Amino acid sequence: METWHAILLGLVEGLTEYLPVSSTAHLLLAERALGVSSPGRTFEVLIQLGAILALLSVYAAKLWKMVVDLPSDRRTQMFVLAVLVAFIPSALLGALGHKMIKEILFESPTIICLSLIIGGIILIIVDRMQFEQRYHDVMDIPPSTAFKIGLCQCLALIPGVSRSGSTIVGALFLGADKRIAAEFSFFLAIPTMAGAFAYDLYKNHAILTPADMQNIVVGFIAAFIAGVLVVRFVLDFISARGLSFFGWWRIVVGAIGLLAFTGAV
């Protein structure tokens, strides 16, 4: 992998991580198109740290207020508990299925592209549905509801499903409005992506060369810059425009992928 590959892939990660389009699918398909790969598929996971820091930088004031309020404010305590409870299912399942996910699912363009297309159809259908909206502030989502959203996130262990897409759709069905569904997905991304980063680094640090680390750093920086731009606008976009745009995007990318890498279209 050359430096420009790492920059391009980092931009892909940052631009797609917080959209319901599956950043992992876009990264894996982009790597196939470029003819590059990383040892143990570590690059794809580790550059997510850039997207995490992008989110932390944009939400710094809100997160700091939570830290200050956490020891004494019951509402903040319940929200933090809700995020942690939502994180647990995918953390456990991801650790148990780590090898299968990396060695089988990541290597199947057919699974990736079909997941993109099916997920796109679901987004278009969901965007036309009317839901009972019970939650209009992300801090009001209780741990019991958050746990169910966390179960939805487990679907994103299949590349192409989309972590943000599965959690947003799950939150909509459970009573959140579109903006709050997307915002809760943002907060849930922090422990989820940080956990994936730490676990993957622990499992694969021994096989990383200095050149690999250099590419990861470059990809991380590119993902951070692109992630900051996306996080700043995506909540307003989803609130105003809904999910259909992303659904059609997924269908087009999935169809192109099937045509290019499997000959199935």
Cα angle 233-168-68, degrees, rounded to a multiple of 5: 70
Q: Which residue has the higher pLDDT, 24 or 86?
A: 86
pLDDT of residue 264: 52
Tell me the whole-structure pTM to 2 decimals.
0.89
Query: CB of 159 within 8 A of CB of 111?
Result: yes
Q: Which residues pair with 135 in a beta bridge?
A: 176
> Across residues 30-52, what is the average pLDDT?
83
Determine which of 36-45, 124-133, 245-254 has the lowest per-residue pLDDT on average.
36-45
Amino acid at 242: G
pLDDT bin (cut points 50, 70, 90) of residue 37 is: confident
pLDDT of residue 170: 95
pLDDT of residue 263: 61
Annotate 37-94 with DSSP letters as a single string: --GGGHHHHHTHHHHHHHHHHHTHHHHHHHHHHTTT-HHHHHHHHHHHHHHHHHHHHH
**Could you give the CA distance from residue 80 to residue 64 in angstroms, rounded to a whole number?**
13
19's CB contacts (< 8 A; 6+ apart) are 164, 230, 234, 246
Tell me the two tokens of residue 36: 């590059």
pLDDT in tens, 55-111: 888 889 999 999 999 999 999 999 999 999 999 999 999 888 888 888 888 889 999
Residue 234 has pLDDT above 90, yes or no: no
pLDDT in tens, 120-169: 999 999 999 988 889 999 999 999 999 999 999 999 999 999 999 999 99
Where are the alpha helices (H) located in the chain, listed in sequence order? Answer: 3-16, 23-34, 42-46, 48-58, 60-69, 74-96, 98-103, 109-127, 143-153, 163-173, 178-204, 210-241, 244-261
Residue 177 has pLDDT above 60, yes or no: yes
Inter-axis angle of helices 3-16 and 210-241, nearest 10: 30
